[in-house]
Amino acid sequence: ALGHHRDDLIESLLMSTLYSGEIRSMPPKLLTQDKRHIVIRPMVYCQEKNIIEYANEQKFPIIPCNLCGSQENLTRKKVKALIQDLAEQNPKIPANMLHALSNVRKSQLMDFELWDFKNLEEKLLLASESEVENALNEEPFDETYTNKEEVISFNPG
């Protein structure tokens, strides 16, 4: 089990997009490359501030980790500050970014392995009238999406 939390996942998503040109982050469960172990991240829905708050409430020792990019002037620290700045303008941005990791619209991306762009014309000809109607009535992206944050938020009272 690893201690990655919500903030780690969204920072990783933004870092991989901006600096690696990939849309990826860290899954809650992962089969290791040698297929001998399953790595779990049980705190992916928990905010870092809530974990710190809970640890302080329980008087757990906080052990600093210099392996995860928390050192000064590193990219993760800069990305974390960027997300905090964005969240000051719209507090739902971190929750929306986490939600985006489980709400992938393959047809809205450019990955040819995920979506068959070459044969769209053929699919158009084969689409039934009801499929076309369903596609036209699909809900647009909702900027105000809120995830399970209210349910999961730490509240010692």
pLDDT in tens, the chain (157 residues): 999 999 999 999 999 999 999 999 999 999 999 999 999 999 999 999 999 999 999 999 877 776 665 666 689 999 999 999 999 999 999 999 999 999 999 888 888 888 887 777 776 666 666 666 666 566 554 544 444 454 455 454 4
Whether 26 is covered by a domain: the verdict is yes
Distance CA(94)–CA(81), nearest Å, equals: 12
Whether 61 is covered by a domain: the verdict is yes
Total domains, the chain: 2
| Statement to judge: residues 91 and 117 lie in one domain | no
Tokens 């040819």 map to which residue?
Answer: 112
Amino acid at 71: Q
